[in-house]
Chain A
Amino acid sequence: MTSEASRPVAPAARGSELGEDLGPLGFPDPGPARFAGVDDVRDQLAAAGYLADDAIAGVVHLADRLAKPVLIEGPAGTGKTELAKSVARVTGSRLVRLQCYEGLDESKALYEWNYRKQLLRIQAQQVLDAGPASDASSTVASASGGDSGSGRASGGPGRLTWRDVEEDIFSEEFLLARPLLQAIRSTEPVVLLVDEVDRVELETEALLLEVLSEYQVSIPELGTVRAQRIPLVFLTSNNTRELSEALKRRCLYLHLDYPTLERERAIVTSRVPGIGDELADQVARIVRSLRTLELKKPPSVSETLDWARTLVLLGIEQVDAENARATLHVLLKYRSDLERAAKELEMTQTDGR
């Protein structure tokens, strides 16, 4: 609990000497490459079970080389969060996740002083000081009024002055690191995932800016904490509102749409054990046709996978109108959508050919 032991954060404060860590063009130094190239990204991700297309692999590669965060937008259930998780897996990094929600603030995203513990610490000091001679509360009270230098000089030996107490309670021991600070401070490699960033208010986005562009967190009482190795950062958004220009400017942008027929088929084949090629093909084609309809909620990739698993579990080897209609509720979640799909894909006619 001494003030010396509480300084491991301080070395990072060297970041205040600006320009020291910046490479040419003012870009932060990305460090050694995590991937050998775009193809390497694709191969590694594929080995981890995530089938990336050119756009995805290209962006991940750039994010690594340019040390920039990636903003991933797209409909729900197209693998935005999964991408971050897979990248963490293949790079052997720890995944630090910040789930955004309305009302998220600094104390939940960055850091918070553990004021209950601080309170306890001060009260404990009072009790300890009350033992020998005078009561400590007078020391604290008088010193906090006057300047701290004289407070220390006038304090007797073995007695803690206001300044000591202050340094003590604003040390790292009383700091609760929230996800953003955890990611910056971590000594092991980290992938930071800021999930559903569109849920926070526009004003709260500003919290992220310092972390995203400088990879540092300023704590007034401790100084600036700077990342030792710039983490890979992924932000996901469901596009429920327009994100601020400032945030978008700092990020690489990736729009994850529904996959092409070939990719979806490959995803189904790799993720659903025991599925035949023919069934996977049929599943992918039916889902594609469904997405061309004007539905309230088009089927997502995860729902496609659920449906394929359902079909495999039921032992269906070929989808026909009958069993498609019976299992379609796995894929579509609105009554009106179900009726529409059944009508459009002519599944109401069960007599077939």
Chain B
Amino acid sequence: MLELLTGFVEELRAAGLPVSLTESIDAAAAMHHVPMEDRQALKYALAATLVKSADHWRAFDTAFEVFFSLRGERYGIDAGSGNSSAETAAAGSDGQEGAVGAAGAGGGSPVSAEDLAEQLYRALLFGDDGRLVALARMAVGRFAGMEPGRPVGGTYYLYRTLRQLDMDGLRGRLLDAARMQAPGGALSPLEERLMSDEMQQRLTRLRNAVEDEIRRRLVADRGAQALARSLRSPLPEEIDFMHATRDELLALQRAIRPLSRKLAVRLARKRRRGRTGPLDFRSTVRHSLSTGGVPVDLRFRPPHPAKPELVVIADISGSVASFARFTLHLVHALSDQFSKVRSFVFIDGIDEVTEIFDRSDDVAEAVHRVNTEADVVWVDGHSDYGHALGVFWERWGHGITSRTSVLVLGDARNNYHAPQAWVLQEVGLRARHLYWLNPEPRSYWGSGDSVVDVYGAHCDEVVEVRNLRQLEHFVSQLT
């Protein structure tokens, strides 16, 4: 068991969780106090000692399901159906299909696809979770077509199984059934919405059950460590902006709201505590009374440092769009911390979008409006930093003062247009600070059509911002 725990801790570390030595000792101690046969209790005990941030829960969950999957129980089923328990893991996964099929259908022959779909529908309709899990296992056995030793990722099997189950069709049928049951044969819009959320939840449960089952079989086939390695996914704060998948973008979306709240608190605190104001003579004298007139405790007025103005100029062309979106969102969520925030977006033309972000609370809506309303295409819709900066300087350059900090967001891939670096030089001379945030890895800078070095010469700093962690770090340094 200790061996298993060490392997598990190593896997967590490999997935990016900071697990210290004391924490793994705690985990070992905690295992003494939970009943070994209770898997759920073990999971919570390990989580309480090893995972110290809610963001890391997903990574922990995946690793736990892989390392502590129900292997023992399964071999038990195999042994019952007459197979030798000393089989290879691959053969084990074959035997499993028959065994579960038999257990689910209560007979020797596997059930037909229609039958399975019908049973699944009923289980979903009545919210019968135990049945749902058993059926999910059966569905995986039937539809996933898993073969031992095949180097295919779990998502492939998941896709195959779910396509056969026809989730959208199920959902429609379930909703119809709910409507039938309602008095009068119809639901009010509110009830309709609630019912659809409920069904969505049940279908998610089904999907999870299928995923669990596929993972369990893969563990049997390939072994825990190998599988954990292939299932490892980056933590939300380490997802690369430029190469995020759709799911990862959603995770980022969720992470950014708490992050902006956190940053706002931190910046406000820093501003209050950064410098002390002038001596508050009245208050000092008042407080000296309790020490017999000796001013032991000096009192200062609260400081009032000026808030900086911020101008953000963001490239929103395809490759860096999501980076620009998250940064703009973060900066506007923090707008209380600055005296003014103005934002501009460009591809080869440039437009001001401050109002769009200020007026709407909803990020998705704001981004949509930026994409449709802002006039950012001038000729062909390929990034032209030179032209965009030139127009910016002409139209809005006078708004930059010695209190303004300017951020430019982009990869500086200029498609071999003229860089017009003199604009940045002018901006840099007039503004208080000029930063360039580049979502590309540092090693790519200056390669191909990247002109970041030309621009960088005029900036206070060029910062590599590839993920949320780096973005957070930069913004917290900003004021």
Contacts and interface: CB of A to CB of B under 8 A. Distances in A.
13 contacts: A55-B47, A62-B45, A62-B49, A66-B29, A66-B33, A102-B269, A119-B292, A201-B269, A245-B20, A257-B54, A289-B193, A340-B362, A344-B193
Interface string B187-203: 11110111001100100
Nearest to A59: B48
A349 B361 contact: no
B265 interface: yes
Interface in A269-288: 282, 285-286, 288
B407 interface: no
Contacts of A282: 194
A324 interface: yes
A285 B184 contact: no
A349 B189 contact: yes
A252 B189 contact: no
B82 to A, nearest CB: 36
A192 B227 CA distance: 43
A346 B189 contact: yes
B186 interface: yes
B51 interface: yes
Interface residues of B, number: 50
Contacts of A261: 201
Nearest to A292: B197
Nearest to A23: B29
A249 B22 contact: yes
A68 B29 CA distance: 11
Contacts of B261: 240
Nearest to A245: B18
A38 B39 CA distance: 13
A345 B193 contact: yes
Contact of A321 (B41, B52, B190): B190
Interface string B19-32: 01011011001100
A66 B34 CA distance: 12
A252 B49 contact: yes
A62 B48 contact: yes
Interface of B: 18, 20, 22-23, 25-26, 29-30, 33-35, 38, 40-41, 44-45, 47-49, 51-54, 57, 184, 186-190, 192-194, 197-198, 201, 258, 261-262, 265-266, 269, 273, 290-292, 361-364
Given A66-B26, A296-B361, A321-B188, A239 B258 contact: yes
Given A27-B29, A249-B22, A294-B362, A55 B44 contact: yes
Contacts of A353: 184, 186-188
A165 interface: no
Contact of A346 (B18, B34, B52, B190): B190
Interface in A80-102: 102
A249 B23 contact: yes
Pick the most buried of B18, B47, B364: most chain A CB atoms within 10 A of its CB: B47
A54 interface: yes
B203 to A, nearest CB: 14
A242 B262 contact: yes
B440 to A, nearest CB: 27
B280 to A, nearest CB: 16
A329 interface: no
B262 to A, nearest CB: 6
A112 interface: no
Interface in A155-178: none
Interface of A: 25, 27, 37-38, 54-55, 58-59, 61-62, 65-66, 68, 70-71, 73-74, 102, 115-116, 119, 201, 239-242, 245, 248-249, 251-255, 257, 261, 282, 285-286, 288-289, 292, 294, 296, 319-321, 324, 336, 340, 344-347, 349, 352-353
A302 to B, nearest CB: 19
A242 B261 CA distance: 12
A134 B57 CA distance: 74
A73 B55 CA distance: 12
B189 A321 contact: yes
A241 B52 contact: no
Contacts of B198: 285
Most B CB contacts (10 A, CB to CB) among A248, A324, A347, A353 go to A353
Contacts of A349: 189
A285 B197 contact: yes
Contacts of B273: 201
A71 B26 CA distance: 15
Given A251-B52, A253-B48, A349-B189, 15 more contacts: A25-B25, A25-B29, A37-B35, A55-B47, A58-B44, A59-B44, A71-B52, A239-B258, A240-B262, A249-B23, A253-B47, A257-B54, A285-B197, A289-B193, A345-B189
B193 A346 contact: yes
B30 A66 contact: yes
A27 B26 CA distance: 9
A97 B401 CA distance: 50
A96 to B, nearest CB: 23
Contacts of A345: 189-190, 193
Nearest to B194: A285
A92 B25 CA distance: 31
Nearest to B362: A294
- Which of A27, A249, A286 has the largest count of B CB atoms less than 10 A from its CB? A249
Contacts of A240: 261-262, 265
Contacts of A294: 362-364
Interface centre among B48, B189, B364 (most CB of A within 10 A): B48
B33 A65 contact: yes
Contacts of B47: 55, 253
Contact of B48 (A58, A74, A296, A321): A58
A78 B188 CA distance: 31
Nearest to B183: A353
A241 B262 contact: yes
A193 to B, nearest CB: 18
Nearest to B198: A285
Nearest to B187: A353
